[in-house]
Amino acid sequence: MEETKEYEKNLKAGEILFKEGDVGDEMYLIKSGKIKISKGGGDIEKTLAFLKEGDFFGEMAIIDGSPRSATATAVEETKLVITEKTSFTAQVKKNPLIEYLIETLIKRLRTTDEQIKFLLIKNEERRVVAMLLTKIKDDSIQSDKGIQIKTPFSYSFFGNLVGIKEKEARDIFDNLVNSKLIRIEVDKLYVKSEENLEEYLRYISLKEKFGR
């Protein structure tokens, strides 16, 4: 049986191990010290967890190949045991059930991470538009009516995804319909143009920054 290859890495206090959005091909076990896991930056940085000796992290990126979902920073001098993606996945693939269970758990965690990311956005309309742009990338198909979001649409469900009440969600989605950015037909939502929706996101971000 092939052994899992590991090596150690030392971090100084305040040193960033990886940033949110980085490509990841390693997972980590804390041998000593402490790691802060956070999302966002500046005035809206949110600390998600402090990890200590014996905790492991970074496993999500090496399972599904997605970018790092948060930033990892050493709070104090820290020693890590690092496992590379190739040797880890080789061990997992020897047991199909374990592989399936891990992939399912990772998908659930990714969904939770996306919700946390949206909740960091203060403006509710910007939160909704950012969520739709994410769904275009991860949960859509092309149709003759535009880009169809595969998740069945309802005001309450989509509002819950970004932490707003049904009434506020209805007002925001109806405004997007009136602006001809999306189309809603019963339980189906279509985005007419990803580029136009991205441009609208930039517009409301600038409007929020500089005032109405």
d(CA 133, CA 196): 11
Domains and CATH numbers, the chain: 6-116 (2.60.120.10), 123-210 (1.10.10.10)
Residue that wins the pLDDT comparison between 200 and 122: 200
The yes-or-no verdict on residue 171 having pLDDT over 80 is: yes
Residue that wins the pLDDT comparison between 44 and 201: 201
Cα dist from 99 to 29, 104, 138, 186, whole Å:
20, 9, 21, 38
Name, of 132-141, 161-170, 184-193, the range with top average pLDDT.
184-193
How many other CB atoms are there within 10 angstroms of residue 162's CB atom?
A: 23
Please give the order of strands across the beta sheet that includes 71-74: 16-18, 71-74, 34-39, 46-52
Nearest in space to 55 (alpha carbons), one of 71, 77, 36: 36
Average model confidence (pLDDT) across the chain: 85
